Chains A and B, each alone.
Chain A
């Protein structure tokens, strides 16, 4: 029996050996440790004390900031990610072929993603979307009242979504790589059949790209749920104004490293894992219907 198992798996094990060590030592073990801590009071410096489900109860039933952080994060994920992916796909499609000087444009459009959410960007963002910022100058052309977009609680999150959309470079590059993988002869034979560019887009490009679209959707959703740096650096560490940029992981970080409640933070982490896993699971289930592999 064991021997059979060995024979079946030995080749795969050869390829997976480094990954196995990594996932167990650096993945599963710390995860189990954090799962354990989620049932404890742990101030980081002294041994944790078991409190059962208490962290989870507090979180779900009596922590209004937790609910607020969920709200903020859901808006960020479900408004920001679709916009960002749409942007990434459109530009990848345009920049894939056609216009002269494409390589230059590709590089330029990737610049925002090179910068990352750095402090310089944080300062810049506050200037652009501040009272005297460029953004007001631009929107005033369309008759929009000037505002301090970063510090108005009803628009602060919107500026962070703009940042996410603006840094669409990574999914764009992945889309580009995917577009390159589509065999040219498919387009050639379609042209012979007299298909227009829109037909090609919907009958060839998008179906052939579905594995990559699927990948981008899954990964961007996982990433956006865990978004931390934009809120931490640009939102000003506390999630203000009025908790309007209190991202889930920012609140988790505050609990862990400012308030020294690592047990509570661990419980929040596992709750987030369940939420993300649910959405990812649904995506994988739906994938059978719309993702086409060349196998």
Chain B
């Protein structure tokens, strides 16, 4: 009988675990929302000489081995300066990071401090009560926002509360291969082209471009294209209340028609060529191979592309401007940010670490704008001296853009689903399977159904 008893015991125990585990998220809501943290803060603060409790902080980020080395150097430095803190590091690659993070979060075991890409996943986390608001720590002085750009602080806010601090900020731009332009006997009209100027330039360029050479990759099949267009038209991808699309059918028809013409004249690759390169490494893109004039990418990747094409002279141009638009520039801030889990065990210590990570001059010097441009002026100034030419270009470009664009809002909940529907219809149009008007109608219908839920 004993075996059976053990089995039953295990069943009951595991059911118990399941129930406890699932409820985990809710328990915290009540436990950690009070002001008790701010009170305890005062105790732990300025008592430098008393022996501090040993604490462990789990810190997760995405990136590759090279980024790991940078993070480890920074975190080692912190451990050195704060001997009572041990930082458990949980690095991972980009795609896998999100799967593990959501599993950990669902299981009530999220890392104490972790990276969050605000434009892509911000709302999915911030709206669900799993991230600790940082305002109390700012008030108590554990987190410093001195010298921070207002626009960057705002990018980390949700429903009026501050949740996230930028590790760096970037924005979409056109990385430009000047050497290639020159070899074609062309001239770049300016680094602030309008859509019309880009079209004229493209029409000229296709006459001299060789086979399998292009002006730019197809932006309709990545999300930033339509989002920028919608902002330029005075809207957004999804309306602020999250119940409808933030642009009109005419906007989308106009957008797709513009790029369809580019596709017809051969300025952008056919859908099939684009599909062949989707998911391939950046090293193999037409741009990196010297076979495209522009590539639209977050501008902080300029450094990376410069590494792939050491012989080429690169510059950064604005994402096309819309001269008759509500906003001529529509770029959104892309913010890889750092946040604290609601489940974090040592919240004051975690807050200190976060603040140090984004503000400390020594730490940010090691970091060296690795994940975008720092959102704080003192850090930027501190880096000025050590920047290479391409990075200096990135910094300048960023300052120009930030002064010219409307505030970035996080995409509302459900936008991931709508975006994936958008990309599907955009691909249908690109492949010529569906007429633009029909695709627009079908997309709007599907988007409205998704958003109604």
**Chain A residues in the interface with B (C-beta under 8 A):** 6, 13-14, 17, 20-21, 24-25, 29, 33, 43-48, 62, 65, 122-123, 126, 130-131, 148, 150-153, 156, 236-238, 240-243, 254, 257-262
Please give the number of chain B residues whose Cβ is less than 8 angstroms from any Cβ of chain A in the complex.
45
**From residue 66 to 123 of chain B, which have CB atoms closer than 8 A to chain A?**
95, 98-99, 102, 105-106
Q: A21-B10, A46-B128, A123-B281 are in contact. Are A242 and B428 (CB under 8 A)?
A: yes
Contacts of A262 in B (CB 8 A): 106
Expressed in whole angstroms, the Cα–Cα distance for A20 and B280 within the complex equals 45
Is B272 part of the contact surface with A, judged by Cβ < 8 Å? yes
Is B25 part of the contact surface with A, judged by Cβ < 8 Å? yes
Expressed in whole angstroms, the Cα–Cα distance for A171 and B281 within the complex equals 33
Rounded to whole Å, the gap between the CB of A49 and the closest CB of chain B is 12
Closest 7 CB pairs of A and B: A236-B279, A151-B275, A151-B276, A241-B275, A45-B128, A44-B106, A148-B276
Closest to A131 in B: B276
Expressed in whole angstroms, the Cα–Cα distance for A122 and B125 within the complex equals 31
Expressed in whole angstroms, the Cα–Cα distance for A148 and B269 within the complex equals 13
Is B51 part of the contact surface with A, judged by Cβ < 8 Å? no
Is A45 a contact of B106 with CB atoms below 8 Å? yes
Rounded to whole Å, the gap between the CB of B263 and the closest CB of chain A is 15
Closest to A48 in B: B22
Is A242 a contact of B125 with CB atoms below 8 Å? no
Is A29 a contact of B14 with CB atoms below 8 Å? yes
Closest to B274 in A: A151
Q: Which of B305-313, B358-366, B392-400, B417-425 contacts A (4 or more CB under 8 A)?
A: B417-425
Q: What sequence of 0s and 1s flags, for each residue 250-275 of chain B, a beta carbon within 8 Å of any chain A beta carbon?
A: 00000000000000000000011111
Is B10 a contact of A237 with CB atoms below 8 Å? no
Closest to A62 in B: B449
Q: CB within 8 A of B433: which of A151, A156, A242?
A: A242
Contacts of B129 in A (CB 8 A): 45-46
Expressed in whole angstroms, the Cα–Cα distance for A127 and B275 within the complex equals 13
**From residue 404 to 440 of chain B, which have CB atoms closer than 8 A to chain A?**
416-417, 420, 423-424, 427-428, 431, 433
Is B186 part of the contact surface with A, judged by Cβ < 8 Å? no
Rounded to whole Å, the gap between the CB of A245 and the closest CB of chain B is 11
Closest to A33 in B: B18
Q: CB within 8 A of A243: which of B125, B130, B424?
A: B424
Q: A25-B11, A44-B102, A242-B431 are in contact. Are A254 and B276 (CB under 8 A)?
A: no
Contacts of A17 in B (CB 8 A): 3
Is A241 a contact of B431 with CB atoms below 8 Å? yes
Q: CB within 8 A of B105: which of A20, A21, A45, A242?
A: A45
Q: CB within 8 A of B25: which of A20, A46, A254?
A: A46
Contacts of A14 in B (CB 8 A): 3
Would you mind naming 6 contact pairs between A and B with Cβ atoms under 8 Å apart? A6-B1, A24-B7, A131-B276, A151-B278, A238-B423, A242-B428
Closest to B110 in A: A45
Closest to B342 in A: A45
Is B280 a contact of A24 with CB atoms below 8 Å? no
Is B370 part of the contact surface with A, judged by Cβ < 8 Å? no
**From residue 1 to 31 of chain B, which have CB atoms closer than 8 A to chain A?**
1, 3-4, 6-7, 10-11, 14-15, 18, 22-23, 25-26
Contacts of A48 in B (CB 8 A): 22
Expressed in whole angstroms, the Cα–Cα distance for A260 and B98 within the complex equals 11
Q: A29-B15, A45-B125, A240-B427 are in contact. Are A24 and B420 (CB under 8 A)?
A: no
Closest to A13 in B: B3
Is A20 a contact of B7 with CB atoms below 8 Å? yes
Is B102 a contact of A241 with CB atoms below 8 Å? no
Contacts of B433 in A (CB 8 A): 242
Q: A25-B14, A45-B105, A46-B129 are in contact. Are A238 and B420 (CB under 8 A)?
A: yes
Closest to B8 in A: A24
Is B280 a contact of A126 with CB atoms below 8 Å? yes
Contacts of B3 in A (CB 8 A): 13-14, 17, 20
